[in-house]
A and B are shown apart, each in its own frame.
Chain A
């Protein structure tokens, strides 16, 4: 069997393979580590963390939809201090210290520019390898998506965070915009090291028997296989618009799906809600990507990134 190169480079950080977890679908890996081996992953992307604890939204917070789901968790998290003490400590202890260890990517959220900056500062001396900045969560009233839908605000916050961050920053883009490639370009010009997309698409579900919204937040973010074609198209558009790496996600359920995102231009990919359907899906995605490479005699996975134009 020939050597196959699966490793990819994101802003100077090498991932052993292109498969990561999508923020919010994997916690910090603690719960999943009982069912699978997180050392098989390119990176673990943690749930969004803010400066102080956030309570999140009321319940129901999730609803099943055709080949997908709506969520309105509302970025519940215990705050950066607990996160560093407990979650990062867990990852540090669990990740094997090999040549290319599984990388830690911390997803950051906030209500104001200052809050994002402060969280990023507190992460400076931790084991986080990369920071993913969530400016695209549709489920909180202040901050988050407001930064991701306005080019001026996006540019300003990217610049400020870049100045404060020790680690490279990945700006996570919202699909709830008219021109996502423009947003990617704005991030690149403001100093972002990479972009990731897509976050969830704002949606709604109504219970016609009860004449009520299903989610207590009324609206929620749509994810899962239902959104994959939209995500692939957006990754393609962004990859064509910027030189920095693009990380693709949205409905990935297999190695074949991951390959499709890479062909559209993604350097790495993240698996989100399908972790709920199959707790081992990320590991299986890596295995089936290798099988694809063998079937098509691909030496280096990087060859396929953006190969369809």
Chain B
């Protein structure tokens, strides 16, 4: 069941210089599953399309999203405060499958990290790999409660010496299992990580690399894709991705990310 509702804001906080965490209350939370998303609408009548945002976690009737300011819509969202309301529709799409061969590599790159928290909380066989562009390691401590965490940072030098001391500290404290300078694939290779399955969310080049790596190493992979959306519910055919086979719904070689996705079996889609 999907709901369109005016959700009350419980809490808004900043996690990194351009990343915010927002808790809202409503019916959507109770039916949400890991990997699903919500459509967030701005209050600005000149910006009419939805902002699709992954569900980061839920607690009863409360739902959390973690988002990066990417433009005017997310900037306006970050200005909302406790007690304000926000129009949302969800839960949308299909999430990560529950029954898969474990252990599971949970791979999150950048703003693809948030849905991994919801996913990690739903399993107990997680090996978590997180890719950050700089040492602003949002959601890291929360994720570390649900599995061993390996992190990759593209530009660790950005915080200078302090940054490397911070990372040393995380290793000592046992918050992270390993640190790699580079991307998530570098971290997976460096630590020789293997698993039964992999769930990945992040930028397209990362997903492409994960798909290839898992294919070669016999790991079943699922990826969460992104595309511009309009209806968010599968009616307008804006948000398609190419598919290996003819899709039973579309009758052609593409699938709706908002309806059949955003999570797909990696081998079935063209990334």
CA distance A279 to B249 in the complex (A): 21
A69 x B235 contact (CB < 8 A): no
**Given A59-B240, A61-B240, A31-B231 contact (CB < 8 Å):** yes
Contact A276 to B228, CB < 8 A, known contacts A35-B2, A35-B4, A55-B254: no
CB-CB under 8 A for A76 and B227, given A276-B48, A276-B232, A280-B4: no
Interface size on B, residues (CB 8 A): 34
Whether A59 contacts B48 by the Cβ 8 Å rule is no
User: Which one of B50, B233, B253 has the greatest number of beta carbons of chain A within 10 Å?
Assistant: B233
Main secondary structure of the interface of B (DSSP, over half): loop
Q: Which of B50, B239, B252 has the most CB of A within 10 A?
A: B252
By the criterion CB–CB under 8 Å, are B254 and A71 in contact? no
Instruction: Say whether A31 contacts B228, CB under 8 Å.
Output: no
Alpha-carbon distance A66/B49, docked complex (angstroms): 10
Which residues on the B side are within 8 Å of A224 (C-beta)? 48
In the complex, whether B167 has a CB less than 8 A from a CB of chain A is no
Chain A residues near B49 (CB-CB < 8 A): 62, 64, 69, 276-277
Give chain A nearest CB distance to B229 CB in angstroms.
Answer: 7
A56/B233 in contact, CB under 8 A: no
Q: Are B236 and A276 in contact (CB under 8 A)?
A: yes
Interface size on A, residues (CB 8 A): 41
Smallest Cβ distance from B87 to chain A, in angstroms? Answer: 8
Whole-angstrom distance between the alpha carbons of A276 and B240 in the complex? 16
The listed residue (A30, A64, A77, A280) touching B48 by CB distance below 8 A is: A64
Contact with B along A55-82 (1 / 0, CB 8 A): 1100111111011110101001111001
Is B76 an interface residue, CB under 8 A from the partner?
A: no
How far is A27 from B235 in the complex, measured between Cα atoms in Å?
5
Question: Does any Cβ of A come within 8 Å of B237's Cβ?
Answer: yes
Asked whether any CB of chain B lies closer than 8 Å to the CB of A6, the reply is no
User: Does the CB pair A73–B50 fall under 8 Å?
Assistant: no
Residues of chain B with a CB closer than 8 A to A27's CB: 231, 234-236
Complex Cα distance, B44 from A225, in Å, reads 13
**A278 proximal to B (CB < 8 A):** yes
Minimum CB–CB distance from B50 to chain A (whole Å) comes to: 7
- Contacting pair B235 A25 (CB below 8 A): yes
Given A67-B45, A69-B49, CB of A279 within 8 Å of CB of B4: yes
B210-232 interface bits toward A, Cβ cutoff 8 Å, 1 = contact, 0 = none: 00000000000000000111111
**CB <8 Å contact, A279 and B233:** yes
CB distance from B122 to the nearest CB of A (A): 24
**Which of B227, B235, B253 touches A26 (beta carbons < 8 Å)?**
B235
For B250, what are the chain A residues with a Cβ–Cβ distance below 8 Å? 53, 76, 78
Closest 7 CB pairs of A and B: A78-B251, A27-B235, A53-B251, A62-B238, A31-B235, A31-B233, A31-B234
Which A residues contact B (CB, under 8 angstroms)? 24-27, 30-32, 34-35, 47, 53-56, 59-64, 66-69, 71, 73, 76-79, 82, 224-225, 273-280
Can you spell out 13 A-B residue pairs with CB atoms less than 8 angstroms apart? Answer: A27-B231, A27-B234, A27-B236, A34-B2, A47-B235, A56-B254, A59-B240, A60-B228, A66-B46, A73-B236, A76-B240, A277-B49, A279-B4
